[in-house]
Structure 1
Amino acid sequence: MVRNKYPVHTTLSSDAIKVLDRYEKELGAKNLVLEKALLSLDKGRFRSKMDAGNLQCSIKRISTGIVGLDDMLEGGIPEGFSVIITGPPGTGKTTLCMQYLMEGVTKGEKCVLFSFEERLPQLVQQFMRFGWDVAKYIDDGYLEVFGMSMLTFEEITEIIETYKPCRIVFDSLNVFSNPENFRNSGGWRSLHRTIKNRGITSFLITEKKHGIDTKDFDEYDFLGDGIIFLDSMQLNDIDTTLTPVMAIQKMRATKIDPTPQSFRFGEKGIEKYRSIQTSKVLQNKIGNQGNSSPYSRNEPGY
């Protein structure tokens, strides 16, 4: 009896398929042992190409538009990653994401912002606050902004497939559903697959009711390739003023320092980003966060 054309899988190389086709023409059926042997050879060739040195060189990094942050990420976000931008209200999550989009459009990349809680005029005002000529990039076709969006997952997918953006921001995921249900929803999984297949680098804003010093993670955190947490903290024992900080809690294929770094908002967005001198107050707040957090591992591939 003739076997199915591809009894093992359909991912053999074209050369291997030719060998199997020739065998079928000559003997009338494919040989399972031969196919498994060819599969093994294909896997071996794949492993030889993906050694650690080649893998590191092959990672293309996307600038966030924040120089200090890029420096902490070996040059930027790995292309095609989905990064969670999270933290309490008023900590700069939307500003960071807008700055990330403006970095893209100034380089001639198509970008999309899906906002589910703010109207378009309000979003444009936020862009203009930092001197970003958002109207120009919208008119030129490099930026699409969907304010107060009521779009379904299917409609968002259609927009992405038609527009073909390089960068996307979702603000925020909490509007769709609770984190416990979101990760396993069929609509999100289909949309996420589209984003990944197209190699789009996306920032996904989520909301936290706790600060950076609390070790509490949700399902949104686990679905991301990276996590950047924004907050405000007291940095020393004398000055009680709260300072904006951000921490890279997770970034696959990247060596990271999870220690919170201070920043400020300037005329052009987030301008300053530097390591902070860790005081006793801050040490007590973050404790051993870098060692105990499940996201602090920094070896490539995590």
Structure 2
Amino acid sequence: MARNKFPVHTTLSSEAIKILERYEKELGAKNRVLEKALMSLDSTKFKSKIDINNIDKAIKRIGTGVFGLDEMLEGGIPKGFSVIVTGPPGTGKTTLGMQFIMEGVKADEKCLFFSFEERIPQLIQHFMRFGWDLGSHIDDGYLEIFGMSMLTFEDIGEIIETYKPQRIVFDSLNVFTDPQEFRRSVSWRSLHKLLKKMNITTLLVTEKEFGIRTRVYDTYDFVGDGIIFLDKIQVNEVEPTLTPVMAVQKMRATKVDTTPQPFRFTDKGIAKYRTVNLMANKLQERMNAAHSPLSEEPRDQ
């Protein structure tokens, strides 16, 4: 009866197999000897995976392209983070995502924009409103847009591996996947692992049925490294006009002020007001007086 040449372990590197062959030749195929060698090799391999000295301790931050927001984030979103951009409809989430993408292509970074609810012509018209020249960036190979995408998680993964982008926007996840199945989805976990492995900075746009005053978090919020909430609220009882606001509710590895900050829509996209202290305090006071009881807040994972 033929003897299995490697009776204990069959997934070793070529270097490890050479060592085992030497053990087998000199000492015979004794399991105790082989196991001891394997334990030694596995220990060395494990240590090399967590070599703290080779980890870059400086946090590289990625500019969002939104005037004032980077100041709220110590210079930008930490590279490789997946950030939830959320809020009710019509609050500027898609615009923020587009500015994030355009900031990337201006720096010669390859970017992908996946929309699951708008056609490409509609998306291009939205971009062009702010004077953003998509055609040249697409021709130069720095931008790809997928509108009304019917792609699966697996399809998206293949595109990402082929294109190798630095930035991605998904707009919006509510259309693409059911929130109750999203977090437990094996396909999503595989895609999320790929995003982390390739160190891609990602914005995940989601829809809320409630405003910023209602401090309730959904399934999507818990998978993000950060949460940016956009909304429109009334500043005072006299002025009925709703004021656009943004709040960084969470951002790992970043000291953030979660106070809502007013912003405005301009011909170049959206921008946070320079003088915000007084207005922001008023907004926070109104929220404190009106919000519903706190639910569980998203935890760091």
Instruction: Please indicate the TM-score interval, normalised by the length of the shorter structure.
Output: 0.7 to 0.9
Residue aligning to 1:284:
289
Count of matched residue pairs: 287
Picking from 275, 293, 297, the partner of 1:294 is 297
Residue aligning to 1:264:
264
Whether 1:141 aligns to 2:144 is: no
CA distance in 2, matches of 1:156, 1:41: 32
How big is each residue's C-alpha offset from its partner over 1:73-112, in whole Å with a ceiling of 9 and x where there is no partner?
A: 1111111111111100000000000000000000001111
Change (3 A) 1:255 1:36: farther
SS of residue in 2 equivalent to 1:232: strand
How big is each residue's C-alpha offset from its partner over 1:181-209, in whole Å with a ceiling of 9 and x where there is no partner?
A: 11212222222222221111111111100
CA distance in 1, matches of 2:51, 2:151: 42
Provide the identity percentage: 56
Matched-pair contact (CA < 8 Å) for 1:69–1:273: no
**Residue 273 of structure 1: CA displacement?**
4.0
Residue aligning to 2:53:
49
Matched-pair contact (CA < 8 Å) for 1:20–1:35: no
CA distance in 1, matches of 2:241, 2:193: 43
How big is each residue's C-alpha offset from its partner over 1:248-287, in whole Å with a ceiling of 9 and x where there is no partner?
A: 1111111111111111011111123454421242431358
Residue aligning to 2:222:
222
Change (3 A) 1:31 1:99: same
Q: Which piece of structure 1 moves more, 277-286 or 251-260? A: 277-286
Q: Which piece of structure 1 moves more, 179-188 or 27-36? A: 27-36
Change (3 A) 1:285 1:43: farther
CA distance in 1, matches of 2:103, 2:220: 25
**Residue 288 of structure 1: CA displacement?**
9.6
Matched-pair contact (CA < 8 Å) for 1:245–1:263: yes
Give the residue type in structure 2 aligned to 1:116. F
CA distance in 2, matches of 1:44, 1:162: 28
Change (3 A) 1:193 1:42: closer
**Residue 215 of structure 1: CA displacement?**
1.6
**Structure 1: 5+ residue stretches without partners:** none
**Structure 2: 5+ residue stretches without partners:** none
CA distance in 2, matches of 1:218, 1:182: 11
1:105-124 pair list within 5 angstroms: 105-124=105-124
Q: Which piece of structure 1 moves more, 239-248 or 164-173? A: 239-248
CA distance in 1, matches of 2:52, 2:153: 39
CA distance in 2, matches of 1:186, 1:179: 14
Matched-pair contact (CA < 8 Å) for 1:81–1:201: yes
How big is each residue's C-alpha offset from its partner over 1:227-257, in whole Å with a ceiling of 9 and x where there is no partner?
A: 1110011223443321111111111111111
Change (3 A) 1:40 1:286: farther
Residue aligning to 2:156:
156
Residue aligning to 1:86:
86
CA distance in 1, matches of 2:271, 2:216: 29
Matched-pair contact (CA < 8 Å) for 2:82–2:204: yes
Matched-pair contact (CA < 8 Å) for 1:114–1:170: yes
Structure 2-normalised TM-score? Answer: 0.82
**Residue 34 of structure 1: CA displacement?**
8.6
1:187-226 pair list within 5 angstroms: 187-226=187-226
Structure 1-normalised TM-score? Answer: 0.82
CA distance in 1, matches of 2:253, 2:273: 22
Matched-pair contact (CA < 8 Å) for 2:216–2:296: no
CA distance in 2, matches of 1:151, 1:22: 47
Root-mean-square deviation over aligned CA pairs: 3.2
CA distance in 2, matches of 1:217, 1:48: 34
